[in-house]
Structure 1
Amino acid sequence: MPPATRELSMRMRPAWAVPPRAARVRRRGPHRGVAVVLSALLLAPASACQEPIVPPGAPTPWPSAHARDWQWQWQLTGPVDVTVDADVFLLDPVHTTSTETGALRARNRRLVCQVRVGTYATGEPDASRFPAAVRGTAVPGRASTRWLDVRRWDSLEPVLADRFRLCRGKGFGAVALDDADAYLHRTGFPLTFDDQLLFNRRLAELARRLDLSPGLIDDLPQVAALAPDFDFAVNQECVRRGGCDKLLPFVDADKPVFHVEYTGDPARFCVTTVGYGFASILKDRTLDAWREPCALP
């Protein structure tokens, strides 16, 4: 995720109506990557007066016949708006409550949790589980966030597996891997393209073992190699930055591509992205509940 804007923004059939933008003040503040932590409180049993939330019994399916028909929502801030007219919700697994995931599942929504896999925040409860040897340099523009040495699978796998289990416990059926392109950045480690490729493939395999459908966030240079290993892709701003065509291996394999732009007129960029077969939306960088989706063809 080379551009500085990416560091601030992150770190995927009914007929859908386009929601109005009337009287809304667009916010352009930076979005910092969601903190994914293992917390016993979040996994506590439901109250006796509530119906228990049962995790999905299998990874989220993505029928190839609907690969170009999904509408999606990406929300990481504020209470989750479960009424948004979308099939797929990409959410923060820590701050999203079991009540919210239960309400979405009752509406037959597909739930994807966003997990940071190549970084950690020093204030996270599981930060102490990362040995000093795997802790790298700070991520520019993201306070207290540092890179991880993705070559050290034996050290990282137990922590990341617990982050994935948190998703399962909250009712998610899919996981999107964030910060999965450390090799493109100054991490403090001599990471190579092949180091990252092996790490990402191991994560996809780990997700499947835990009954989660794996998805890849960005990492465009590796899409062609990784498309067979992942079930869907999430992309930020391939129209503004260029490179939308690099996501075509997912489209050609009838796998969803969930795409977002933070600037521009949907009437203009939708022509490109819907033509490619992407599910595209316009969002504020804060990734709150507001969205403006591209109309399906």
Structure 2
Amino acid sequence: MKLLSSICVLASLFFINNVEARWIPKIGTTWNDVLADTKFDVTKEKAEVVEVDYETSADKIKYYHSYGKKVICYFSGGTIEKWRSDYDDFAAVSGLVRNTYSNWDDEKWLDFRVSGLKDLLVKRMKKAVNNGCDAIEIDNMDAYQSRDVKGVWSNPITADDTVVFAKWLANKAHDLGISVGLKNIAGLLPQVADYFDFAINESCVNYKNECALYKDFVKSGKAVFGITYGKLEDKLETMCRELNGIGISMIMKKTQELKQDGIIFNGEEYCGSGFSNGFSGHTGSSSVNREAKEDTKKTTTTKKTTTTKKTTTTKKTTTTKKTTSTKKTTTKKTTTKKTTTKKTTTKKTTKKSTTSKKTARVKTVKKITSKGKVKKVIVIVKTVTRRKKN
């Protein structure tokens, strides 16, 4: 018995030592999306977190880490770009690759209900883990809102299908020991919030009360990274109204091209004494020791701020992509797509509610690199998939 007990103890210690603590961003952590910037200079970056394509090399990610940055890696789970190195693997799965994403000839929708997709996405997750990414962001989950799907497929993807898929993605990422962020689809937060470690939203300030949908998510101790496109002088009043007290770490860029230049938006500085960033009182953890089988998570936390349930059509944003990788940024309702030609990282954002698609082209807005004090940059490596709304 003593021998058996000793073996059990040793086995337990071995297991515990091999469960790596995955990184969990704190509320208020600053970030920058540099997915399309082939000349990204980490030595000048002030943000703590950086987002890049999941195919970014291990050496580059290690270099970013040496400057104290955390890296989020991007890829699309709801579409496939023709220039991707694994495109043929996707095309070989019967019924998986469907029609073209409107206005994006090099990108197609995926029927993620087809079982053959899971193995392909696990390979991408493992690549991100092996390259040293701290977290992943999976884009284009909003097929259930897209007219490309709803109005064309005989058996279109539904919101319920999306909830099942999102939970599987989160659990699988956690099984592999990596943090995962929910991209847009804020309307499904009540069903999937407990499964994700943080969230990324594009252009919520453009839609009344959309940013507020994340309030309960933030109250639960989870960070939300946001991005707004346009000129500060044109958006300031709206940003001050929509972000007040919500707790979203917002950045601003003049265009939807994901380059390094931009502004780390501090509402307490830009909006005055009546504004609260919503960060106080939150002490999110930087890492968590847990194995993730989050199926037991409280799905019952349907804190639906149903008042803001938008039935907007999916939107897509494009991002310029680096040679050999394209990345999409899903911009909610702002159908924009960050185009990045295959060798030009493209990122797309799909967002509900029809909106114009993003064209990649940045003009300096007050460099994120020069705004505020930020210690680390988390590099978000995304799979560039251009997203645009229908």
Paired residues in the alignment total: 236
Q: TM-score, normalised by structure 1?
A: 0.74
TM superposition shift of 1:107: 2.3
The answer to whether the 8 Å contact 1:274/1:280 transfers is: no
Structure 2 partner of 1:97: 57
SS of equivalent to 1:287: coil
TM superposition shift of 1:239: 0.7
1:170–1:80 Cα change, 3 Å: farther
The answer to whether the 8 Å contact 1:273/1:279 transfers is: no
Is 2:103 the partner of 1:137? no
Structure 1 partner of 2:328: none
Q: Which amino acid aligns with 2:29?
A: W
Is 2:22 the partner of 1:59? yes
C-alpha distance in structure 2 between counterparts of 1:86 and 1:274, whole Å? 21
The answer to whether the 8 Å contact 2:182/2:200 transfers is: yes
CA distances 1:187-232 after superposition (whole Å, capped 9, x unpaired): 3341111101000110001111111101011112112211111011
C-alpha distance in structure 2 between counterparts of 1:212 and 1:143, whole Å? 32
TM superposition shift of 1:122: 2.2
Is 2:224 the partner of 1:262? no
Q: Which amino acid aligns with 1:282?
A: M
Is 2:150 the partner of 1:184? no
Q: Could you tell which deviates more after superposition, 133-142 or 271-280?
A: 271-280
Is 2:79 the partner of 1:113? no
TM superposition shift of 1:178: 0.5
Structure 2 partner of 1:74: 33
Structure 1 partner of 2:192: 226
C-alpha distance in structure 1 between counterparts of 2:113 and 2:48, whole Å? 36
C-alpha distance in structure 2 between counterparts of 1:268 and 1:181, whole Å? 29
TM superposition shift of 1:57: 4.8
- What pairs up with 1:199-278 in 2 under 5 angstroms? 199-242=165-208, 243-265=210-232, 267-271=236-240, 272-273=242-243, 275-278=245-248
C-alpha distance in structure 2 between counterparts of 1:101 and 1:290, whole Å? 20
TM superposition shift of 1:270: 4.4
Structure 1 partner of 2:263: 292
Q: Which amino acid aligns with 2:89?
A: R
Is 2:157 the partner of 1:198? no
SS of equivalent to 2:230: coil
SS of equivalent to 1:132: coil
CA distances 1:144-196 after superposition (whole Å, capped 9, x unpaired): 211111212x2111100111111112210111110011111123341111101
Q: Which amino acid aligns with 1:158?
A: D
Question: RMSD value over aligned CA atoms?
Answer: 1.9
C-alpha distance in structure 2 between counterparts of 1:219 and 1:275, whole Å? 21
Q: 1:281 aligns with which of 240, 251, 263?
A: 251
The answer to whether the 8 Å contact 1:224/1:249 transfers is: no
Q: Which amino acid aligns with 1:182?
A: A
The answer to whether the 8 Å contact 1:80/1:100 transfers is: no
C-alpha distance in structure 1 between counterparts of 2:195 and 2:77, whole Å? 16
Percent identity (aligned): 25
Q: Could you tell which deviates more after superposition, 72-81 or 260-269?
A: 260-269
Is 2:121 the partner of 1:155? no
1:138–1:121 Cα change, 3 Å: same
Q: 2:49 aligns with which of 88, 95, 99?
A: 88
SS of equivalent to 2:199: strand
C-alpha distance in structure 1 between counterparts of 2:87 and 2:206, whole Å? 34
TM superposition shift of 1:286: 0.8
C-alpha distance in structure 1 between counterparts of 2:262 and 2:244, whole Å? 16
Computing the radius of gyration from Cα coordinates, the structure with the larger value is: 2
The answer to whether the 8 Å contact 1:223/1:249 transfers is: no
Structure 2 partner of 1:168: 129
TM superposition shift of 1:59: 2.1
TM superposition shift of 1:264: 4.0
TM superposition shift of 1:274: 5.3
Structure 2 partner of 1:43: none
C-alpha distance in structure 2 between counterparts of 1:61 and 1:247, whole Å? 17
C-alpha distance in structure 1 between counterparts of 2:70 and 2:182, whole Å? 16
CA distances 1:46-68 after superposition (whole Å, capped 9, x unpaired): xxxxxxxxxx9542123xxx41x
Q: TM-score, normalised by structure 2?
A: 0.57
C-alpha distance in structure 2 between counterparts of 1:99 and 1:205, whole Å? 27
SS of equivalent to 2:245: helix
Consecutive unaligned residues in structure 2, runs of 5 or more: 1-18, 269-390
SS of equivalent to 1:276: coil
C-alpha distance in structure 2 between counterparts of 1:178 and 1:161, whole Å? 15
Q: Which amino acid aligns with 2:120?
A: V
Is 2:108 the partner of 1:146? yes
C-alpha distance in structure 1 between counterparts of 2:109 and 2:74, whole Å? 17
Q: Which amino acid aligns with 1:150?
A: F
SS of equivalent to 2:73: strand
Consecutive unaligned residues in structure 1, runs of 5 or more: 1-55
TM superposition shift of 1:295: 1.9
